[in-house]
Amino acid sequence: MNKLAKTSALALMATLLMGTSASALAHKVGIVDMQKVYQQIPQMAKIEQALQTEFAERRQELEKIQGDIRFEAEKFKRESATMSDDQKDKLRDKIQDMQKTLAEKGRPLEQEMKTRQGQELTKVQKLILDAVDEVAKKGKFDEVKLKDATIYFNPEKVTDLSEQVVEVVSKK
């Protein structure tokens, strides 16, 4: 009787394991290459253009200061041999003041640009995640993974959903 119980238990475990394998094979997995999605969606170009426009005036001001610094530094190199010590000191001070102004205006601008870029990317990420969700539900996928976070996947058994996600996001 004890032998019959062990055999039954083994048979039951084998059946359960086979059932698990069968359901694992039926598990539908998709993968999304986020770099590819970001490169192909039109929203990224729009964000870049909007940020360029938004910060153009301040960036031009910084570029002008940089140009002025270069001009004065070249002037110093060219004319320092013929300048008095007082003239050299004044020109050095002028260059240093301009560099200080550049740093004082440049750091906050850079931070503000990064903040704005982050805000815009957050909006795009939401669109992408919504698109992944939509594509996954439509295709009846059990799981969707990021390509970058996946060490290995069998391309014959895993569907790349990147193009479909790009299509959905591009329509929004």
CA 42, CA 10: separation in Å to the nearest integer?
Answer: 57
From residue 113, give the alpha-carbon distance in Å to each of 15, 46, 55. 60, 15, 8
Output the pLDDT for position 67: 95
CATH class of 26-170: alpha beta
Structure tokens at 105: 């205006």
Task: State the chain's mean pLDDT as an integer.
Answer: 83
pLDDT, one tens digit per residue, over 71-90 is 999 998 998 889 899 998 99
Largest CA distance in the chain: 113
pLDDT, one tens digit per residue, over 27-43 is 888 889 899 998 999 99
